[in-house]
Structure 1
Amino acid sequence: MKNPLIVLASVVVCSIAIPILTSVVSYDSIEVTPKEDKKTVVVTKQIVKKAEKKLTSYETINKKSPTINVYNHKLGKTQKMDIEEYLCGVLAGEMSSEFSLEALKAQAVAARTFVMYKENQGNSNKHKNAVVCTDFKHCQEYKSYDELKSKNGKNWMKNSYSKIQQAVKETKGHIITYNDEPILTLYFSTSSGKTENCEEVFSKAYPYLKSVESPYDKNYSPKYVSALQISNKDFVDKFKRSYGGVQVNENDLKNEIKILERSNGGSVDKIKIGNKEIKGTDVRSILNLNSANFDIKFNENYLDIVVKGYGHGVGMSQWGAEGMAKEGHKYYEILSHYYKGTQIKDLY
């Protein structure tokens, strides 16, 4: 028989050691909890990514902004303007001040780049004594400070115009380049879900003006869908006035009209109306549609034409940019998305 004292000592030692070992094992198993660690890693990565975005800056040069000649088509004369002040007038004319700041900044950079692109064209401009004009049909919309103040009032100038000035100031000197040259920054209101290849709309290809997805327009733009209802007779009359040789039976339009081809972005490229093959852009012009992306529903005496998007569809969609901004994208990410293969350069 073993010594009772030894047995008692062994029991005491075990009663102390076992809880200690158990606590050590339990502690190890709690510290290494895979689910909690994975969550922490994911959250940390997201925070790091957001921090990296905030740290991105293209402001490397701090020089005085240049003065440019602008032909004011309303006044019929050329005016000298500081380019940054001119851009505030362009931004106020081309985009609503209610848009997000990052969308406004993207528009400011696009507008500035347009000026530099035009300057590079030299004598090819229609207004030889000016780099750009104030007519949106030829260059960019421009509204002077006095025009804006008179139309919108002091409160708008204080709250909204200051936001426009901020967008211009925070992108001072930034332009978009391809092969170190300013690009042709085409832009428009609303896409139909994709932008267009430039060559399919304007018959000239640019490597940075390619069709890209633009998914946010549908959710954010009030101009995403529009419709036109027109009688068979009015439809036929409009095309007969535009195309003298067109022959079409207004009582059988379902068989007289056929969409032949669509662009990569979804717009009608070619459509047959009676005996004539017509471009979709011409149909848009004749019927005054918001875009060339349309479908036709045939009824007994009239047509329902459903249109997606607003504008020519090439380059940056302004409402698409607004959607990207709302989703947390920065202005340089917006520009990189819509103008493929480009870089931002700081000129001054």
Structure 2
Amino acid sequence: MKEKLRMILAVAGIFLLLPLLLTVFLSGREALRIKKQWNMESVLPMLMCREIPWEYEEEMKKVQAVLTRSSLYLRIEEEGMDGEAWEKLWKEAKAAQRQKGYQQAYRSMEAAVKETEGEMLFYQSKVCEGVFHRISSGATRDGLEVFGKMEKGYLLSVDSNWDMYGDGYLSGHYFSEEALREQLEKAYPGLVFTEEPLEKQINMHKRDKVGYILSLTVGNKTISGEEFRQLLELPSSNFTMQAADRKIRFLCKGQGHGLGLSQYGGNVLAKEGKSYQEILRYYFPECEVKTKKS
């Protein structure tokens, strides 16, 4: 009787495991892991490990959890996120795992995700992108001024003057005239320079109200400040330019695009005892933090 019962249980177990075994056989063990773990909440801690300094305050990590979740939600809505897309995201998120202290950092990010489970940033009853940067120039930027689009109206300019005391707030970046000219000509085929000194052919003619360059002319071409700073790998498009000894220096304020949350500023507020909800309300005064109803 016992043998018969064991046989019945074994056969039942095989039938229960059959879909699992077929998945492994047809797609490999990696696909099995993906199918088991792919959901928004499970991937958030890994994404956060790439996006925020690990030593930041716990309340600031909760802020980041809300913002990262909001952006990921919109990405899923836009792209559909099939298995291949999830796998790509997973591989990108795993990049930080080789760093010392990762496991401890991961646990703290995981705790922040659990504390804010399902919470996202809403503007006019819709989930909006969780926009952030590392350090502002002393105030965040106005989204409507930068993009000219009403849907970016939730990105308001707010004071963040404590950022000016942060490490990396002010930084100088030097290029030889020859190297800079070569880099620009390579990026923009057809770019025409005159015989004038190069610094006279880079004109920053439009800034926003907090000092970030909206557009500039390089030779005969007009480009955005963000495009220029990404091309030269500058930390910010809030910069001035000086020339000396055949070198050109870009003196930058802040780190990142300057829109939305200043992570450094948010961490200062967290150290002062502000909750993650209060920090989000400060940097996104037009938005609400809530859980999306299905």
TM-score normalised by L of structure 2: 0.76
> Which residue among 87, 93, 106 is the counterpart of 1:142?
93
Instruction: Identify which range, 226-235 or 190-199, moves more after superposition.
Output: 190-199
Percent of paired sites with the same residue: 29
Distance 2:281 2:74 in 1: 17
Alpha-carbon distance change, 97 to 254 in structure 1, aligned in 2, over 3 angstroms:
closer
Q: Is 2:66–2:130's contact at 8 Å kept on the other side of the alignment? A: no
> Which residue among 243, 258, 273 is the counterpart of 1:313?
258
> Which residue among 212, 215, 237 is the counterpart of 2:161?
215
Q: CA deviation at 1:287?
A: 1.4
Aligned equivalent of 2:240: 295
Instruction: Identify which range, 163-172 or 300-309, moves more after superposition.
Output: 163-172
> Which residue among 83, 94, 98 is the counterpart of 2:55?
98
Q: Is 1:208–1:339's contact at 8 Å kept on the other side of the alignment? A: yes
Q: CA deviation at 1:271?
A: 1.7
Aligned equivalent of 1:230: 175
Distance 1:134 1:305 in 2: 39
Aligned equivalent of 1:28: none
Aligned equivalent of 1:173: 118
Query: 1:113 and 2:70 equivalent?
Result: yes
Task: Give the gaps of 5 or more residues in structure 1.
Answer: 1-74
Q: CA deviation at 1:284?
A: 1.0
TM-superposition CA deviations, 1:70-89 (whole Å, max 9, x none) = xxxxx899644343332222
Q: CA deviation at 1:338?
A: 1.8
When Rg is computed on C-alpha atoms for both structures, the one with the higher figure is 1
Distance 1:89 1:329 in 2: 25
Aligned equivalent of 2:219: 274
Letter in 1 for 2:208: S
TM-superposition CA deviations, 1:143-180 (whole Å, max 9, x none) = 39xx73x6436xx53x4433222222222222221233
Q: Please give the root-mean-square deviation of Cα atoms over the aligned residues, in Å.
A: 3.1
Q: Is 1:115–1:132's contact at 8 Å kept on the other side of the alignment? A: no
Q: Is 1:211–1:264's contact at 8 Å kept on the other side of the alignment? A: no
> Where does 1:183-194 land on structure 2 (aligned, <5 Å)?
183-194=128-139
Q: Is 1:216–1:324's contact at 8 Å kept on the other side of the alignment? A: no
Alpha-carbon distance change, 332 to 135 in structure 1, aligned in 2, over 3 angstroms:
farther
Query: Greater share of helix residues, 1 or 2?
Result: 2
Q: Is 2:181–2:198's contact at 8 Å kept on the other side of the alignment? A: no
Distance 2:114 2:221 in 1: 52
Distance 1:131 1:117 in 2: 18
Distance 1:320 1:140 in 2: 30
Task: Give the gaps of 5 or more residues in structure 2.
Answer: 1-29
TM-score normalised by L of structure 1: 0.65
